[in-house]
Chains A and B, each alone.
Chain A
């Protein structure tokens, strides 16, 4: 009798494969964790045409084929695969049911899920079905002395960081935002086992029906990936003055973000919205101009490594969060910064 290895599972979220690397990032982190518990890393894939390269598949289906091999090349020891036409499009209830059944059978110690829009809805459903806990949006994952998964997650809009464990129930579950961990390079020589799991015969019909789906690829560079973000709020004064931020962002090789009032006032596109209902950013430097710092905004930019905030009011919440708080008129300071940068960069 072979003893079942302690397993760390990663949900294979392959939609938007080329933009969404979160599954590969989680496989990489899972490898590090598996070493500490002498365990194995498993990817779980539900879909259709997922285990082979099909040349014209991309044109037919905006998802990506061949992920099974990719996941092994990026660190999975084993891939559980259910491949069936019924799984061609993501389906919340069906995927949750498949995950529940597989987890109850195989009893993984940990399940990691990327915090994509799908993952953020899928994970809590799976956790509920398995009667276990779930930590959302972890920024760190480790194994503590007791062998538990140590889940580090922001709380209260990122103003606090909590260390969380799931002491009794299993599996331990966590979601992780894209970009939190680094993927390991593709290794074509790596081998792994593929465990085919048939579609259950008693699978109920989907209670939510997909009527239409349209791929909306992101245009241009993504603010989520930008190393420098220049964010502006109402304190810039006017649409015309706000427009200077675009010039500044170009000089800084960065992207422009905006707060909700600014987007409502049509000073910036909705795409630029940095906030709870918009983009979450994690630049090396965030320039924040004329932003008071409502929690819906600050929660989305807490991961910025270095914050330079400009505001007339030194007591604004954004100023308190900043590494450098500049007490000045946001628009005037923007102008001065543009001039200085033009002088420095030729």
Chain B
């Protein structure tokens, strides 16, 4: 099994440079994306029932190695880090291309690839389905529950108000929601061991034999023209005091707004 992981910033308000429009990611602490964590949990449970090996793979800056160490502490057998400056700025199509070539190189006999259904920083939910296309295997997204038996896998998911039970032959790819696979806690000793001893394989563009024109920002079809912060325009009025006094202020200043939304005139009854 291969589990794809992504390190995402832990804070909800990312440090951001309004002059250049770029994110100051280096200031943010990283964590394993929650849906990726659920995908890893699903892999661990499948291994408990069916056996097998789990390879955790991530693409990102060198610090993304942390999520591989964490995955190993949780029970993954090995970690693979794809890191290269040339990979920076990849869109989802290029990311899935790069991941697919790495999986073909390190784990060509895979049965199942598991991904989180989406990441909480960019939220596109595109890499999983595109990775299935790249690997030319069947794939199912937004899966809540997985049952593997031999070379077939049965899945349940809720898709647009339809509860679907699906079946596919392996090898295949599944993206996992955070609904059912509640991640286990990291054993403290295991974490120490994972940082001290575990082997992490690091691959770059050259070792994957990739054409640098096809990857990273160069290979990406979409181009970002500019970035703005919608929160910046907000006034952020702060109200303090006793609850009664605050509620009075709220109604004095925003009765039209609240009344408009609820379809009632709050003023006339005062």
A317 at the binding interface (Cβ < 8 Å): yes
Count the A residues whose beta carbon is within 8 Å of the partner chain — how many? 98
Residue from B167, B220, B236, B257 in contact with A208 in the complex, judged by beta carbons closer than 8 Å = B167
| A308 and B250 contact, Cβ closer than 8 Å, known pairs A136-B123, A162-B227 | yes
Give Cα A344 to B262, complex, Å: 13
Contact B163 A124 (CB under 8 A): no
Contact A16 B246 (CB under 8 A): no
Q: Which residues of B contact A16 (CB under 8 A)?
A: 160-161
B3 to chain A, nearest CB (A): 18
Q: Which residues of B contact A134 (CB under 8 A)?
A: 92-93, 126, 222
Q: Digitize B64-107: 1 where CB-to-A-CB distance is under 8 Å, 0 elsewhere.
A: 00000000000000000000000000011100100000000000
Residue from A166, A277, A317, A345 in contact with B177 in the complex, judged by beta carbons closer than 8 Å = A277
B175's nearest neighbour on chain A, judged by CB, is: A121
Q: Which among B48-56, B138-146, B187-195, B199-207 touches the partner chain? A: B138-146
Contact A216 B238 (CB under 8 A): no
Contact A121 B161 (CB under 8 A): no
Residue from A15, A150, A333, A346 in contact with B247 in the complex, judged by beta carbons closer than 8 Å = A333
Q: Taking each of A20, A164, A166, A326, which has the highest tally of chain B beta carbons within 10 Å of its own beta carbon?
A: A326
Which residues of B approach A to under 8 Å, CB–CB? 9, 11-14, 16, 23, 34-35, 91-93, 96, 117-118, 120-127, 129-130, 132-134, 137-142, 154, 158-169, 172, 177-179, 220-231, 234-241, 243-244, 246-248, 250-251, 254, 257-258, 260-264, 266, 269-270
Contact A162 B226 (CB under 8 A): yes
Which residues of A approach B to under 8 Å, CB–CB? 15-16, 19-20, 62, 92-93, 116-118, 120-121, 123-125, 127-129, 131-137, 150-151, 154-169, 207-218, 227-228, 252-254, 270, 276-277, 283-285, 293-296, 298-299, 302, 306, 308, 314, 317, 320-329, 332-333, 335-337, 339-340, 343-346
Give Cα A168 to B16, complex, Å: 29
Please classify the interface of chain A as helix (H, G, I), strand (E, B), loop, or mixed, using the class held by over half of its residues. Answer: mixed
Q: Which residues of B contact A345 (CB under 8 A)?
A: 264, 266, 269
A13's nearest neighbour on chain B, judged by CB, is: B160
B134's nearest neighbour on chain A, judged by CB, is: A128
Give Cα A270 to B154, complex, Å: 24
Residue from B92, B121, B237, B258 in contact with A156 in the complex, judged by beta carbons closer than 8 Å = B121
